[in-house]
Structure 1
Amino acid sequence: MPRAQANGIELEYDTFGDPANPALVLVMGLRTQMIAWEEELCGLLADQGFHVIRFDNRDCGLSTQFDHLPAPDFAAIFAGDRTTVPYTLADMALDLVGLLDALGVDKAHLVGASMGGMIAQQCAIDHPERVLSLCSIMSTTGNPAVGQPSPEALALLDQRPATTREEAVEASVAAWRVFGSPGVDEEQLRARSALAYDRAYNPAGGMRQYAAIIASPDRTPGLQGVRLPALVVHGTADTLVNPSGGQATAAAIPDAELLLVDGMGHDLPPTVWPTLVRAIRRNADRAAA
């Protein structure tokens, strides 16, 4: 896969579909590599007339890692001291803009999941001239009153990093049991978790991304100024980001469409792909109109 020089770092990316079509950039979530946007889903989006671009966020996958930085002091961060925060969501939004620059893309449709939704929101706030439409999936506004995880899901964020491949894979499967959609095949989860581990495993990078999330301000005031076609998708069974986060996001953005998917957890199971692809195409058509 190719790498792009973007915002002073390198981002691993790949593409699907005709480069002459409007660009659609997929932004993934906390600790999650771009391969979580499965190739079949990317193909379905490309079939809808998009040039689909997926990439690894900084500190994840094969993009630039920030292992030279000290570990974030979370007690201090929660107390308001940001001195150990390595970067914020605004920096990650600049990474996204840098990727567009590197690929010669003037404007793009943005689709972000979880933390990726936060990054896409921040990009729409800070760089609206680069955004055609916004789709925020299973995400939230940054307002601590909404979108909070269940106690069981919150405990997963504080787990010690695995020390072996087997531990990492089993921990991943156990996590998806807590916040994933019901009925997902565990052997498929195990296979995908093993693939992600073998491609790149860096739990320290995930902690730095988490610090960026909690240190970034509430986006609600900024979202109220977004004047772009916006789609907000959230699963009713999401225990990692409560559906109130999606509801608050849609309420903050003028004229946003809210799509609540019954029974969907904090993941993108193949059963929801047709609904999701149609909704993304419909939102993009609003931009064309």
Structure 2
Amino acid sequence: MPLFAGSSATISYEQTGSGPDIVWVGGGGARGRDWQQFQTPHFDSAFRSTVFDNRGIGKTTSNVSPPWLIEDFASDVAELVGGVCDGPVAFIGSSLGSAIVQQVAIDRPELVRCAIVMGSGAWSTGWGWDFQEAEIEFRKRGGTLDGMMGVTHYASMLYPARALGDRELWPRLKELLLEWIESGDNEESLVPQWDASLRFDQRERLRSVRVPVHVIAFAEDVQAPPQDGEELAGLIPTGEFHLLPGMGHGSWYGHAHREINPYIEGILRRYL
């Protein structure tokens, strides 16, 4: 993957396809290449997709040590878009990546043609706060989640019960998650990336957003419960809320991508 030199990070990115620009922003522990398994092939015939590694993971490096803020991640994305895309662009984010996209919409609206954020909220609160804080403190005390312990732990956070209980689907999901866990990406990136996700609060500034923002919530999402997405959409004057049934936080990855990708494309066609 080529490298883009930003002001405080050197960003590893890749572009595929041709057409209007889509920029995919990954969540905590996710590499840019993860979008290329189940998402970008669907879009490459009509759009140009840019994927990249956020700071804290993969081949992207930062010359500023953590802790980082959501604003730092958003600044990286804005610089990358300004350097390698024909803006304004469509942004698609998941989880931490959604919070980053929301920050770009706040700070650099001229770069945003439309934004689609999945599994997101306006701030960390309630069970989501406790979950993230517990994960961070566990790592700071020297704990790790590897092997099948890591797989089963995160599977229950990413997929709905019916997916986990599907005897044909589960072996495929298990293989995907085991590859991710064994890469070490999640353990390496968790503290610096999740800390930013734990501490962000965009509630006030989201009221100033005027670019189109579509908030996709998954009905079985335990990491970002649907009411968090509904609150987020309600804070944004241009926000539209979408609730997809039978899906969890990571259903875009190997579970329900065949339903999610056309749904996303339908939104994009309104603007691109």
Identify the TM-score tier after normalising by the shorter chain.
Answer: 0.7 to 0.9
1:167-205 superposed Cα distances (whole Å, 9 cap, x missing partner):
623233112332122325343334323433565536253
Query: What's 2:257 paired with?
Result: 273
| Further displaced range: 271-280 or 36-45 | 271-280
Q: CA deviation at 1:23?
A: 0.8
Letter in 2 for 1:169: G
Verify the 8 A CA contact 1:24 1:111 in the aligned structure 2. yes
SS in structure 1 at match of 2:61: coil
1:176 aligns with 2:154: yes
1:264 aligns with 2:262: no
Verify the 8 A CA contact 1:143 1:220 in the aligned structure 2. no
1:149 aligns with 2:147: no
Verify the 8 A CA contact 1:236 1:243 in the aligned structure 2. yes
Task: Tell me the distance in 1 between the aligned counterparts of 2:58 and 2:95.
Answer: 17
| Further displaced range: 2-11 or 125-134 | 2-11
Task: Tell me the distance in 2 between the aligned counterparts of 1:157 and 1:174.
Answer: 18
Shift in CA distance, 116/56, structure 1 to aligned 2, threshold 3 Å = same
SS in structure 2 at match of 1:37: helix
Task: Tell me the distance in 2 between the aligned counterparts of 1:152 and 1:100.
Answer: 32
CA-atom RMSD, angstroms?
2.7
Query: What's 1:225 paired with?
Result: 208
Shift in CA distance, 170/65, structure 1 to aligned 2, threshold 3 Å = farther
Verify the 8 A CA contact 2:136 2:195 in the aligned structure 1. no
Q: CA deviation at 1:138?
A: 0.3
Report the TM-score, using the length of structure 2 for normalisation: 0.84
Task: Tell me the distance in 2 between the aligned counterparts of 1:151 and 1:178.
Answer: 16
Letter in 1 for 2:198: I
Aligned length: 263
Report the TM-score, using the length of structure 1 for normalisation: 0.80
Q: 1:89 aligns with which of 64, 70, 73?
A: 70
Query: What's 1:112 paired with?
Result: 93
Letter in 2 for 1:149: G
Letter in 2 for 1:7: S
Shift in CA distance, 270/215, structure 1 to aligned 2, threshold 3 Å = closer
SS in structure 2 at match of 1:106: coil
Letter in 2 for 1:122: Q
1:286 aligns with 2:270: yes
Verify the 8 A CA contact 1:25 1:109 in the aligned structure 2. yes
Q: CA deviation at 1:122?
A: 0.3
Q: CA deviation at 1:282?
A: 3.0
Task: Tell me the distance in 2 between the aligned counterparts of 1:263 and 1:32.
Answer: 23
Q: CA deviation at 1:275?
A: 3.4
Shift in CA distance, 150/103, structure 1 to aligned 2, threshold 3 Å = closer
Alignment of 1:1-289 (within 5 A): 1-18=1-18, 21-47=19-45, 49-64=46-61, 69=65, 86-142=67-123, 144=125, 148-149=127-128, 155-156=134-135, 158-160=137-139, 168-181=146-159, 182=161, 183-184=163-164, 185-197=169-181, 199=183, 201=185, 203-216=187-200, 218-267=201-250, 268-288=252-272
